[in-house]
Amino acid sequence: MVPGPANTARLFFAAWPAPEVQHALGGVAQSAQRECGGRAVPAHNIHLTLAFLGNVPRARLDEFETLAETVSAPRFALAVDRLGYWRHNRIVWAGVEDCPEALRALVTRLEQVFVATGFRFDRRPYVPHITLLREARRAPAQGRVSPVAWPVAEFALVESVQLERAMLYEVLRRWPLAA
């Protein structure tokens, strides 16, 4: 591991897909990599970020878990069917044609709970995206892919751990969404 402050953790909340959804999206990433170059995100790291907290004291983990327990939102389904490219940071991403209202509500609720504890979030509208490639040389020719169905039934608190040559995302805790 790359040394870092042992008393801090780089945290975010995410919708964490089931392994079969990660595998399917990993296949989309591999296909995009053949076309666009770059580094594919390993399937086991594929996720949808809901709220990024950044580097925070580990001593606050219990507090964050308690706050997350207060977040209530319904389950929802995603049909991941779009590909996009951000030239400024050379990212190929997957997304959805229409963002479900339940997803927006979950993101809003997480942000509301954490703003009360001093966190600040980007004021731009939430755009759901799943990073598939880093350091891509070009945009994908097609903006559409065959839809990958993702039933979202929970959200998770995740730690981003920098290893020697890779990033590992470790799910610390999960919370179910309402049926």
CB-based burial, 129-163: b 16+ in 10 Å, e otherwise = bbbbbeebeebbeeeebeebebebbebbbbbbeee
CA-based R_g, the chain, Å:
16
Six-digit token pair at 11?
């945290």
* DSSP for residue 31: H
Q: Is 22 helix (H, G, I), strand (E, B) or coil?
A: helix
Helix, strand and coil percent figures for the chain, each rounded to 5: 25, 40, 30
Six-digit token pair at 47?
């996720």
- The CA distances from residue 72 to 18, 48, 59, 150, in Å, are 20, 18, 24, 19
- Catalytic residue numbers read 47, 129
Strand partners, 106: none
